[in-house]
A = this chain, B = another copy of it.
Amino acid sequence: MDKQPGAMGTSAGLALRLGQATFSVSSLLFMCFGVSFFSYSYAPFCFLVTTMGLVTPWSLGLAMIDTFLVLAKRPSNQRRVLSAVVLGDWVLSVLSLAVSCSTASVADFLIASGNVYCRDNICLRYQLSAAMAFLTWILSSASLLFNLWLLPTLY
């Protein structure tokens, strides 16, 4: 098997995973840190917290596996493992894109309509959280594409 850059078990793949974990954690922090309970009454904000709460352990876990594979100098060429990783990446990248768009549109709407809850720049933080979720999606779909490109060559 060729060693596809960016796929599982390469240093580029490890960097992608670490970037995903960083962005998803910052999205969670922007959304949750010091915010009152009000924000959780909106479904998109709730979904963003749920999705980023799934992306963070997934990326960190795969980053650990990638670290091991990079140090052991052997890329993963097991078909079933790669299929599971592709499936998980696909689900999580779709969810990331969906929640980032939903959160951004609701935050924009709250700002445009001059909602009373947007005091203290809190809606700006929702927008930043959506932007971080969007960056998570970009990196996650990059991982997905690299692994998906590799997958048919294993069959």
- Give the copy number: 2
* Residue A152 interfacial (CB < 8 Å): yes
Residue in B closest to A42 when the chains form the complex, CB atoms = B109
Q: What is the CB-to-nearest-CB distance from A132 to chain B, in angstroms, rounded to a whole number?
A: 16
Q: Mark A40-60, 1 if CB is under 8 A from B, else 0.
A: 001110000000000000000
Tell me which of A9-17, A28-36, A70-78, A100-108 binds B. A100-108
Chain A: number of interface residues, binned into ranges:
10 to 19
Give the dominant DSSP class at A's interface: helix
Residue in B closest to A115 when the chains form the complex, CB atoms = B113
* Residue A121 interfacial (CB < 8 Å): no
- 12 residue pairs bridging A and B, Cβ less than 8 Å apart: A42-B109, A44-B105, A97-B98, A97-B101, A98-B101, A101-B102, A101-B105, A103-B105, A105-B105, A109-B109, A152-B152, A152-B153
- Which 8 A-B residue pairings sit nearest by Cβ, starting from the closest? A102-B105, A98-B101, A101-B101, A101-B102, A44-B105, A152-B152, A105-B106, A106-B109
